Chain A
Amino acid sequence: MNWVLLWKFILIFTVSAYSLLVIIVFFGGIKNIIEMLKELGAPRDQNTD
C-alpha cells in the first residue's frame, strides 16, 4: 500500500472540502441565526416544553 499517496490525497481532500464547507456554512448560518432569533423572540406558551 502506498501510504504517502494516500496521505497526500487525504490532505488535499481535507483542506479543499473544509474550505467549501466553511463558505457554505457562513452564508447558510447567517440566514439560520436570523430565523432562530425571530423564533425565540416571538411570544410563546410557557408550557411548550
Chain B
Amino acid sequence: MTDVFSTNFSTIDWIIVMVYICIPVVIGVAVRKYVRQLSDFIVAGRSLRLFIAIASLTGTELGLVTVMYNSELGFKHGFSAFHVGIIETVCILAIGLTGFIVYKLRQLRVMTIPEFYEIRFGRNVRIIGGTILALGGILNMGLFLQAGARFMMGVTGYSNPAGLKLFMSVMLIMVLIYTVLGGMVSVVLNDFLQFIVLSISMIFGSYFVISKIGWSNLFKAPATVDQASWFNPVAEGSSFGMIYVIFMVALTFSAGALWQSGTLRALSAKSPKIAKQLYAWSSVSYLARRVIPMLWGICAFIFVSQTPKLLSAFQGPDALNSQYGMPIFIAKVLPSGFLGLIAAGMLAAFMSTHDSYLLSWSSVITQDIIAPIKKGKLSDKTRLLITRISIVCIGLFLLIWGLWFEAPVSLWNYMAVTGTIYLAGAFTVVTAGLYWKKASKTGATIALFAGLLAILGIFGPWIGGENVPFYLSDKFIGIMTFVFAILGMIFGSLLFPDKEKQPEEAQ
C-alpha cells in the first residue's frame, strides 16, 4: 500500500498550501465593513457585474467534490462520461440565450427560490419548499468532506485517517469564519481568487497529465475495459444507457436554472440582463468543470492499467475506492511545487463551494423557513444573526455526517439523488409558476412533496447491499421523480384550482 500512496508532494507543497488557505480568512475580515444589511450579506447588495459573477459562479460550481466525482466518472467510464458535460453545457447555454427562469426571477428581485413560491403560491408553499430545499441541499453537501479527505490522502500520501479528519475539520472551520464574517461580499472575492488559481492549475495540470500518457495513447481504450462503452455512452453494455442520458438532461437543466447556490449568483447580478449573460458565458466553465477532471480520471485509469501494482490495488474485494484514482495518479506524475499549487487550487475549490453552499442553505433556513413562520416579524439584524447561527449549525452537521458517515454508494449517485429531492419539485413549481397561469397551490405542494421520492434512490440500495443494481434503480427513480412532480403539478392544479386570485401575480 505504501507504493500505491507514494507521492511527489513535499515540504514546499505543504508551505504553498498553508500560505494559500490563510488568504481567504484575511479577505473575510477585511470586507466585513461592507456588510451593512441583509441583502449585502446574501446577494452582495445585488451589485455583481458580469465578470466577477462568472468567476463567482464558476468558483461555486467547480468544487473539489465536482473534480472528484467527475474524475471518478472518467476513471470508471472513460470518454463516454463526457456526454454529461455536453448535456450540461447545452442546457446552461440554452438558459443563457433564452433567459429561461433566471431572467424573470431576477426581475422579481427575490433572494431565494422559495421566496418566489410565496409570491406566487403563498406562505405555506414557501415553508414546505424551503424545508425540502434545505434538506436536499444540506444532504447534498454531506459527502464533500469525505471526498476532500480522499483527495488529500491521494495527493499528499498522508494516509493517517485521524490526521486527515483533523485537517479537513480545520479547513471547514476557516470557511465558517470568513463566511460568517463577510457573507456574499467575502464569498465573491474569494471565489474570484480561487477561480484564477484553480483554472491555471487545471489548464497546466491537463498539459502535464496528457504529456505523461501521450496524445495518441489517450484515445486508445485500455485492454481491461469494454472498447465500445469506453467511448460511447449508449453502447450496449455501457453503465450509462439512454435512461441515464435522459435523467441527465432533466437533472442538469433543472440544476442549471435552479440550484440555489448557482442561481444565487444570477439573483445577485446587477440586472436581469447580466443574469442572462452570466449563464451564456458560464457555459464554457460548466464544460470545463466536467471535461477537464474527467480527462484527469481517464489518464489516471490508463496509468493504473499500465502499472500492475496499482491495478491490483483497485481490483478485488479490498479494492481502493475509485475516487482515489485521480489523486494517486497526479501525486506521481506532477512535479513538486506544481503539485502544491494544484492542492492549493483544489482546496480553494473546496472552500469556495463550501462557503457558497453554507450561505445558500443558511439563507434558505432564515428567509424561507424561520421568517415566514414568524410571519415576517424579524428585523434585518435578527435575520443576519439567524443566518450566521445556521451557517455554524450546518457546519457542525457536515463535520458529523461527512467525516464519520460512510455511504455505500458512489459519489455522483449520491449527488444526483440528493439534488433531485429538491430539483424535481422546484423546477416544476417555478416553471409552472412563471409560465402557467393555472398553476395552483395544491399542484405546487404535490410537486414539491413528489421530490421526496428521490430519497428512495439513496435508501433502497443501502438496505439491499452491494449486489443491488443501483445504477439502474437510481436513474429510474430519478426520472420517475421528475415525472411524478410534473404530473402532480398538472393534475393538482386542474383538480384543485386556487379559489382567490394571488395578491401578486408572477407574470
Residues of chain A touching chain B, judged by Cβ–Cβ distance below 8 Å, are 1, 3-4, 7-8, 10-11, 14-15, 17-19, 21-22, 24-29, 31-33, 35-37, 39-41, 44, 46, 48-49
Contacts and interface: CB of A to CB of B under 8 A. Distances in A.
A29 B281 contact: no
Contact of A15 (B203, B232, B281): B203
Contact of A7 (B33, B82, B185, B203): B82
Please name the 7 residue pairs, one residue from A and one from B, whose CB atoms are nearest each other, closest first. A28-B51, A32-B52, A3-B231, A32-B49, A18-B288, A49-B39, A40-B34
A33 B192 contact: yes
Given A29-B52, A33-B192, A15 B292 contact: yes
Instruction: Specify which of A18, A37, A44 lies most central, judged by the most chain B CB atoms within 10 Å of its CB.
Output: A18
Contacts of A10: 82, 85-86, 287, 291
A18 B199 CA distance: 8
B232 A3 contact: yes
Given A14-B287, A28-B51, A33-B192, A22 B203 contact: yes
B51 A18 contact: no
Contacts of B212: none
A3 B17 CA distance: 39
Interface residues of B, number: 46
6 contacts: A10-B82, A18-B202, A25-B55, A32-B50, A33-B192, A40-B34
A18 B287 contact: yes
A19 B284 CA distance: 10
A39 B292 contact: no
Contacts of B303: none
Interface in B215-253: 219, 231-232
B50 A28 contact: yes
Contacts of B31: 37
A44 B45 CA distance: 11
Contacts of B85: 10, 14
B424 interface: no
B192 A29 contact: yes
Given A14-B287, A18-B285, A21-B281, A31 B200 contact: no
B39 to A, nearest CB: 4
Contacts of B195: 22, 25, 29
Contact of A41 (B34, B39, B52, B199): B34
A1 B79 CA distance: 14
A44 B288 CA distance: 39
A14 B70 CA distance: 15
Contacts of B192: 29, 33
Instruction: Specify which of A21, A39, A46 lies most central, judged by the most chain B CB atoms within 10 Å of its CB.
Output: A21
A1 B234 CA distance: 12
B295 interface: yes
